[in-house]
């Protein structure tokens, strides 16, 4: 079956290699009746769907390099180990939010897991103008539960420190985030690309000291502030949806980091989807209502996040931080509420900062988003992207001054009326 | 010599067990001529001085429990491993600042190292009213160099992450800090003790929501913000001095944490020594000039720290944070200076917060300081301690509002004129 030496899976070898594994065969049925297709549209890995007489399974295998770039950019197989460990913890902390794992082979970097059907990638759906019931609720709760329950607010601290040490081994994937998100967009790094019409704005951003300093402060927070286990790559391409169901996938960038990171990155991707709508509209203005829906999702994600975080603070605060012995047990529950509000304010500031930086790097760095890329006309694309860049700058630099998510969405709307090119 | 099973060293077995070790025998000469004395006055370990015909050596051995409390409080032997690893790194980052290591036995938790002579513990010297040339310079530089060079400002980040993971294993000693420093002083924890006359102030502090919240925010920063390798226990009992030389010892609490922690704890211990002086004065007012000297040391430590940090920022900023590619390489050195000032401001705020909390826990928690404890008269001791508590509260809660160390020392002087009991 598997050997110590890594071998990439191919459609020809899948049945032979995975057929003997009970946990997979039980889901699929007889391997001789399996059919398989490679569906990996991500940047890093092989992904197969195997259909058998009794069901379907997703098989994800890391490659020893970045798939998008090739063997010239090596990347360790052990990212599958971190993804597996993150999925297990996410499933404990927010049951049902992530795919069920059937099988994990560390040496071969293979995870076999639940095939989500008829789910589609949320990013694609946002391009098509589709709405999803419960989307904001699931995502806001997922952030609150995984971020709270992976932190010293909740976990036994020795266990958190052990997990911190474990995920500190995911250094190469952190390195991608550290460089591609926080630094490369702000100078002429080799792998950057951007729509040519953006050049004047790009030049202005790269000359903007306050912005670059903000990006580096946020980079330091990402690299150092080991508050909780992050998903690490929670954009709308890491979310799968049906009309009524939402699931989160692909936590291979998992690491300990600041609580505001996942939710900030997530919101950034909604805000970019908002700005991209004119490029996908069936007719001018046809997506106006849909744009409003996207902004309502942004507001609801933050609202659900804070409500669930507050609920967990009041009911599951069993860790070493803000102990009840100092507050509730002394009849001073109000102080615990004040502390919660101060913590949420810190998460809020970080969230907006990470949000702004993510909007820049998805427009100026290596990894872009389909919503922008699939706008064929350069000028039309640049007009959308420019708005995202301007909002991103306002959020990253002005993050201490926003007092509600409606201020963010109001500013998003105001910027959407402008032409910056 | 050593076996797998741990055995505490005793004067009877020292020569037999350590005599065969070249690195130790070479320093001391023939083991049959060794004399040894146990000098451990700390809370945790066995410490022997061995004198031989050719020299002297310090032998420190961890015990599997807290020496101060006994076997009822187990503590892992591997703290010696963390101390050894911290000493090695401190010596690389600030050569000469810590004792030279001659030998390390991980299984037996033994470190044999340089015997510092005629050095005395700084805390003792501060009680006696002695001054030390260069004290502030050495301590300020030690903080700047170890904190800067152990961080993502300087180290290759994969190496920093590996060190972060390594020192995350020092969980039991972190647990001591997390509980005894940040939480226990603020409620009636079992191991607390304080001078009875302080009762009204203690009650007020334990009812002070803003203070308790500040302490918990600082606890979160200590536990989560893995900015650099800390000494972890940098009080005046971890500093040895002669008239002209200063060395730092005992980093067994080493962990990754926030840059302001070591320097804040250090300054707190000087400020408490300042308040303790009336209790040790040869006559009323006899220590007034000496008190001024202590405050001048506090100001100089911060001044040296910032000067050295600035120097390192400008000359050794080779890590992933605030890269020259974004600033100097774009002709924007001023932005790098602005970023440095913002970082130092964040360290400053943390420093004052940790300083204030340390002043509380050394008066209200388990571990007190000799400067206070050796004031025999309860009322006289309480008067000194009360001033420290009041300053500590002002620093912890008001840490964002101080703009210079002279504001701190001015406030210290103002409080020293008051009687709070």
Rounded mean pLDDT, B219-225 = 98
Q: Which of residues 144-173 of B touch A (CB under 8 A)?
A: 151-152, 157-158, 161-162, 164-166, 168-169, 171-172
Q: What is the pLDDT of residue B182?
A: 98
Find the closest chain A residue to B219 by CA distance: A321
CB contact under 8 A, A209 and B335: yes
- Are B214 and A322 in contact by the 8 Å Cβ rule? The answer is no
- Are B152 and B161 in contact by the 8 Å Cβ rule? The answer is no
Predicted confidence (pLDDT) at residue A87 exceeds the cutoff of 60:
yes
The whole-angstrom separation of Cα A391 and Cα B411 is: 44
Residue range B38-52, pLDDT digits in tens: 987 767 899 999 999
- Averaged pLDDT of chain B: 96
Q: Which of residues 336-365 of B touch A (CB under 8 A)?
A: 338-339, 342-343
Does CATH place domain A120-416 in 3.50.30.60?
no
Q: What is the pLDDT of residue A218?
A: 98
For A240, counting Cβ atoms within 10 Å of its Cβ (0-12 exposed, 13-18 middle, 19+ buried), the class is: buried
Q: What is the pLDDT of residue B42?
A: 66
Residue of B169, B211, B213, B217 to mutate for A, most A C-beta atoms under 10 A: B213
Please indicate if any CB of chain A lies within 8 Å of the CB of B176: no
Distance between A351 CA and the closest CA of chain B, angstroms: 17
pTM of the predicted structure, to 2 decimals: 0.96
Residue A118 corresponds to which tokens in the numbers above?
């008829």
The whole-angstrom separation of Cα B264 and Cα B354 is: 5
Rounded mean pLDDT, A336-342 = 98
ipTM computed for the complex: 0.95
Rounded mean pLDDT, A44-69 = 93
DSSP codes of every residue in A219-248: HHHHHHB--EEE-S--SGGGEEE-SS-EEE
Q: Compare B1 and B36 and report the one with higher pLDDT.
A: B36
CB contact under 8 A, B165 and A162: no
- Residues in A closer than 8 angstroms to B158, CB to CB, are 171-172, 175
Sign of the alpha-carbon torsion through A290, A292, A294, A300: negative
- Are B250 and B240 in contact by the 8 Å Cβ rule? The answer is no
CB contact under 8 A, B323 and A212: no
Q: Which residues pair with B65 in a beta bridge?
A: B74
Rounded mean pLDDT, A414-419 = 97
A399 pLDDT band, cuts 50/70/90, is very high
**Domain boundaries, given as residue ranges, for chain A:** 11-114, 120-416
Could you say which of 3.40.50.300, 3.40.190.290, 3.30.9.10, 3.30.200.20 is the CATH number of the domain covering B11-114?
A: 3.30.200.20
CB contact under 8 A, B187 and A325: yes
Q: What is the pLDDT of residue A44?
A: 84
Please indicate if any CB of chain B lies within 8 Å of the CB of A186: yes
Cα end-to-end span (Å), chain B? 58
Please indicate if any CB of chain A lies within 8 Å of the CB of B207: yes
Residue range B243-291, pLDDT digits in tens: 999 999 999 999 999 999 999 999 999 999 999 999 999 999 999 999 9
Predicted confidence (pLDDT) at residue A330 exceeds the cutoff of 50:
yes
Residue range B292-331, pLDDT digits in tens: 999 999 999 999 999 999 999 999 999 999 999 999 999 9
Residue range A362-380, pLDDT digits in tens: 999 999 999 999 999 999 9
- Residues in A closer than 8 angstroms to B353, CB to CB, are none
Predicted confidence (pLDDT) at residue A359 exceeds the cutoff of 90:
yes
Residue range A273-283, pLDDT digits in tens: 999 999 999 99
Predicted confidence (pLDDT) at residue A2 exceeds the cutoff of 50:
no
- Are B185 and B177 in contact by the 8 Å Cβ rule? The answer is no
Q: What is the pLDDT of residue A1?
A: 44
CB contact under 8 A, A165 and B164: yes
B33 pLDDT band, cuts 50/70/90, is very high
């Amino acid at each position: 079956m598997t050997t110590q030496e890594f071998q990439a899976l191919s459609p020809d070898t899948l049945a032979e290699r995975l057929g003997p594994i009970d946990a997979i065969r039980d889901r699929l049925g007889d391997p001789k009746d399996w059919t398989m297709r490679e569906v990996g549209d991500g940047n890093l890995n092989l992904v197969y769907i195997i259909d058998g007489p009794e069901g379907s399974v997703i098989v994800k295998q890391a490659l020893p390099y970045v798939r998008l770039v090739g063997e010239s950019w090596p990347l360790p197989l052990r990212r599958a180990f971190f993804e597996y460990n993150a999925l297990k913890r996410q499933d404990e902390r927010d049951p049902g939010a992530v795919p069920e794992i059937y099988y994990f082979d560390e040496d071969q970097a293979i995870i076999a897991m639940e095939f989500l059907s008829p789910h589609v990638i949320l990013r694609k759906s946002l391009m098509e103008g589709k709405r999803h019931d419960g989307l904001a609720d699931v995502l806001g709760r997922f952030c609150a539960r995984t971020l709270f329950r992976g932190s010293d607010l909740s976990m036994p601290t020795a266990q958190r420190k052990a997990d911190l040490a474990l995920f500190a081994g995911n250094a190469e994937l952190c390195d991608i985030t550290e460089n591609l998100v926080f630094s490369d967009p702000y100078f002429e790094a080799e792998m950057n690309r951007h729509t040519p019409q953006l050049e004047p704005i790009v030049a202005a951003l790269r000359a903007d000291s306050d912005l670059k300093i903000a990006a580096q402060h946020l980079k330091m927070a990402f690299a150092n502030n080991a508050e909780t286990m992050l998903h690490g790559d929670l954009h709308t391409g890491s979310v799968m949806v049906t009309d009524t169901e939402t699931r989160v996938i692909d936590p291979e960038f998992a690491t300990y980091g600041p609580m505001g990171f996942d939710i900030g990155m997530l919101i950034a991707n909604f805000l970019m989807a908002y700005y991209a709508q004119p490029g996908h509209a069936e007719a001018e203005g046809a997506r106006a209502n849909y744009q409003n829906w996207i902004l309502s999702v942004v507001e609801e994600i933050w609202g659900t996040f804070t409500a669930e975080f507050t609920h967990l603070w009041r009911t599951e605060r069993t860790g070493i931080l803000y102990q009840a012995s100092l507050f509730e047990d002394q009849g001073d529950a109000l102080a615990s509420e004040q502390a919660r509000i101060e913590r949420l304010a810190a998460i809020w500031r970080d969230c907006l900062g990470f949000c702004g930086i993510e909007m820049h790097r998805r427009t100026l760095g290596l990894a872009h988003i389909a919503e922008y890329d699939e706008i064929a006309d350069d000028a039309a694309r640049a007009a959308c992207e420019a708005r995202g860049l301007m909002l991103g700058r306002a959020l990253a630099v002005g993050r201490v001054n926003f007092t509600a998510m409606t201020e963010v969405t109001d500013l998003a709307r105001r910027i959407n009326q402008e032409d910056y090119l």
